[in-house]
Structure 1
Amino acid sequence: MKVAVIGGTGFVGFHLVRHLIAAGHLPRLLVRPGSEGKIERIADCEIVHGHVGDSATLTDCLAGADAVIYLIGILREFPARGITFEALQHQGVVDTIAAAQATGVGRFLLMSANGIRADGTPYQCTKYQAELALKASVLRWTIFRPSVIFGDPQGRMEFCSQLKKDIIDSPLPAPLFFKGLLPTGAGTFELAPVSVEDVAKAFVIALAEPRTESQTYSLCGPQRYTWKAILSTIAAASGKTKLMAPAPALAVQAVAGVFDRYSWFPISRDQIQMLMEGNVCTENDSFARLGLTPTPFGVDQLQYL
C-alpha cells in the first residue's frame, strides 16, 4: 500500500515510517526542502518536496496514494515565523482532506491528541476542529488521540528528553506546579505516557483493518504517573537525583506571558495550563481494541536519555 505521510520527518513520523516499511508499505513523504537528511531510509520512500500550506504540493503528494496519514502537531506557535496552531493543526488538515477527495484517496488517519476540547487552549481547539472537519468528510477516517509520547527522539523533540534538558539538567530545583496560593497537591496532577513505538503500531494496524474505520482511539500508557513521579523517573534514567520544590502555576504563567513568544523560553502559558489539567484516558481500552499491549513507562524504557 502506498501511504502519503504529512509530517513524516518529525518524532512520531520517524518511527511510523520505520513501521510502515517493515509492514511492506511504501511511504510517500511530504518533505520541506532541506529536510531530506531527517529521513532514515530515503531509498525505501517516495519524496515530494514542498510545504503543507501549498495545495498543489499536497495534491502531488496524495496523487496515487491508497491512504494518507496526517501527523503534524506543534506545542507552541510563533506567528512571526508563520508557525501557528491554526495553520498546521486545523487548516492543514482541512486542505489535506480536500486533496484526498480530489485525488480519490479514501482512507485518512489523523493524529489528534488526548484531552482536546472546543473551549480549550488554541492547541486543543485546533486539534478538536480538525477532528470535526475529518468526521464531516466522506473519507474513511480513523483518529488517534495519544497522551504525552515518549521514546528515542533520534535528534527530534520528545517529551522526556525535553524535560531532561530543561528541568533535570538545570541547576534550579524542578518545579512542582500547583494551583492557587497554597502548595497543596504540588506536582500531583497525572499523565499517562505512551510509547512512540505503540503509537506507530496502532497506525499500521488501522491501515490493514477496516474495523478501525470511523473509530477514535485514545492512546495512553498502562499506568498513570504524577508529575513528580515522572520527573523522578527521568532523573533516575539520567543517573541523577533531582531536588524539587513547589512552584505556583499562576506565577510561572505570568513570567511565561512575558517571555513565551521567544523560542529560548522553555515553556508557554498554555503548556502549563494543559499540564495542570493532567493527561490520562478516561477509557483506557483502546490498545485492547487494537490487539496491542502498551509498553510501561519506566527507567528501563528511557535508556536513550
Structure 2
Amino acid sequence: MRVALIGGTGFVGSYIIDELLAAGHQPVVLVRPGSEHRLREAAKCLVVAGTLADRAALAACMRDCDAVIYLVGILREQPSAGITFDGLQNTGARICIDVAIEQGVQRFVLMSANGASSEGTAYQRSKFAAEQYLAESGLPGTVFRPSVIFGDPRGCMEFCTQLRDQMIRPPLPVPVFFRGLSPARGGFSLSPVHVKDVASAFVASLQSPASIGLTLPLGGKETLAWPEILRRIAKASGKRKLLLPVPAIFVRLACVLLDRFSWFPITRDQLDMLLQGNVVESFQAFEMFGISARAMQADELAYLQRSA
C-alpha cells in the first residue's frame, strides 16, 4: 500500500513511518523545505517538498496513493507567524481531504484529540471541525482521538519530557494544580497512551474496513491521577520531588499575564484542557486491531534519563 503522510516529520509521524515500513507499505511524506533533517528513514520514504499552502505539492504527494494520514497538529498558536489551530488543524485538513478526493484516494485517517468538541477550546474546536468535514466529505475515513501521548521523543516535543524539563528539573517543589478550593475534590486524571500503540492503531486501520466511519479514542492501559503521573516521571528521571498542591486559579492568573510570551510554559487553554482531565474509557480500537496497550511504567519511561 502506498500511503501519503502529511505531518510525517513530527513525533507521532516518525513512529507511524516505522510501522508502515514494518508492514511493507510505502510512505510518501510531504516535507516542508528546510525540515528534511527531521525525517527519519528518509532513504526508505518517497519525499515530496512542499507545504500545506502548496496544493500542487499536496497533489504530487497523494498521487497514486491508496491512503492519506493527516497528523498536523500544534499545542500553541503563533498568530503573528500565521500558525493557528484553525489554520493547521482544520483548514489544512480540509484542503488535504479535498485533494485526496481529487486524486482518487480511497482512505483517509485523521489525527484528532480526545476531548475534541464544538464547544471546547480553540484547539478542541479546530480538531472537531476537521472531523466533521471528513465525515461529510464522502471520503472513507477513520478518526483517532488519542489521550496524551508519551514515548521516546526522538528530538521532538513530548508530554513526559516536557513535564520533566518544566516541572521536575527545576530545584523547586512540583506544583500540583487542582480545581476549586480542595485538592481532594479538584483533582483530575489522564489516560496516557504510548506512541507505538498509537502508530500501530493508525497503520492497522488502513486495512480494516470495519474502522471506516468510526471515531476511535486511544487511551493507555492505565488511567492515572495527575500527582501519580508526576511521581512516575520524577522517578524515571532519577529525581525525588515534593508535590505542592496549588489552586489552579493562581496558575490561571499567571497565564492571563504571561501566556502571550512563548517562554511561559502553559496557556489558558492548555490549563483548561488539563483540568478537564483526559480519560479514555473505551478500548474499542485496541480490541479491534489486537493491540495490547502499554502502561506508563518505568521500562517505558527509561528514555527520560537517556534524553536528559
* TM-score bracket for this pair, using the shorter chain length: over 0.9
Task: Indicate yes or no: 2:103 matched with 1:92.
Answer: no
Q: Aligned partner of 1:177: which letter?
A: F
Query: 1:184-263 to 2 correspondence within 5 Å?
Result: 184-185=184-185, 188-263=187-262
More deviation, 256-265/269-278: 256-265
In 1: Cα distance, 2:301 partner to 2:182 partner: 33
| Range moving further from structure 2, 243-252 or 278-287 | 278-287
**Aligned-partner Cα distance in 1 for 2:11–2:24:** 21
Counterpart of 1:52 in 2: which secondary structure? Answer: coil
Residue 238 of structure 1, CA deviation: 0.6
Could you tell me which residue of structure 2 aligns to residue 286 of structure 1?
285
Amino acid at match of 1:276: L
Query: Cα offset for 1:231?
Result: 0.3
TM-score (norm 1): 0.97
Q: Secondary structure at the match of 1:297?
A: coil
Matched, 1:104 2:98: no
Task: Tell me which moved more, 218-227 or 46-55.
Answer: 46-55
2:9 and 2:40 in contact (8 A); partners too: no
Counterpart CA distance in 2 for 1:222 and 1:271 is 24
In structure 1, how many angstroms separate the alpha carbons of the residues matched to 2:190 and 2:50?
A: 36
CA distance in 1, matches of 2:72, 2:302: 26
Give distance in 2, aligned partners of 1:141 and 1:285. Answer: 17
Matches within 5 A, 1:49-64: 49-64=49-64
Q: Which runs of 5+ in 2 are unaligned?
A: none
Q: Deviations over 1:77-125 (max 9, x none)?
A: 1101111000000001100011011111121000111111110000000
Matches within 5 A, 1:96-175: 96-175=96-175
CA distance, structure 2, for counterparts of residue 266 and residue 31 of structure 1 = 28
Question: Structure 1 counterpart of 2:64, which letter?
Answer: G
Code of the residue aligned with 2:233 in structure 1: it is: I
SS at match of 1:208: coil
* In 1: Cα distance, 2:252 partner to 2:164 partner: 20
Do residues 296 (structure 1) and 295 (structure 2) align?
Answer: yes
SS at 1:185's partner residue?
A: coil
TM-score (norm 2): 0.96
61-70 vs 190-199, which moves further: 61-70
Q: 1:268-292, CA deviations, whole angstroms, 9 ceiling, x for partnerless residues? A: 1111111100001132333112211
Secondary structure of 1:254's aligned partner: helix
Offset of 1:43 from its aligned partner?
A: 1.1
Aligned mates of 2:183, 2:302 — CA distance in 1: 32
Question: How far does the alpha carbon of each residue in 1:197-254 deviate from its partner, in whole angstroms, 9 at most, with x for none?
Answer: 0000001111122121111211001111011000000000011111111112122112
Q: Aligned pair count?
A: 304
Deviations 1:174-211 (A, max 9, x none): 1111122444435x310000000000000111112212
The one-letter code matched in structure 2 to 1:94 is R
Give, as a single letter, the amino acid of the residue that structure 2 aligns with 1:155. Answer: G
**CA shift digits 1:8-63 (9 cap, x unpaired):** 00000011101111111111111011111111211110111111122222122111
Structure 1 CA distance, aligned partners of 2:69 and 2:61?
11
2:161, 2:254 → 1: CA distance?
23
Percent of aligned pairs sharing the same letter:
50
Q: 1:34-73 residue pairs with structure 2 within 5 A?
A: 34-73=34-73
In structure 1, distance between residues paired with 2:301 and 2:287: 24
| SS of 2:210 mapped into structure 1 | helix
| 1:267 matches 2:260 | no
Unaligned runs of 5+ in 1: none
Match of 1:5 in 2: 5
CA RMSD of aligned residues (A): 1.2
Aligned to 1:31: 31
Contact 1:53–1:87 (8 Å) recurs in 2? no
Q: What CA distance in whole angstroms lies between the structure 1 residues aligned with 2:281 and 2:302?
A: 29
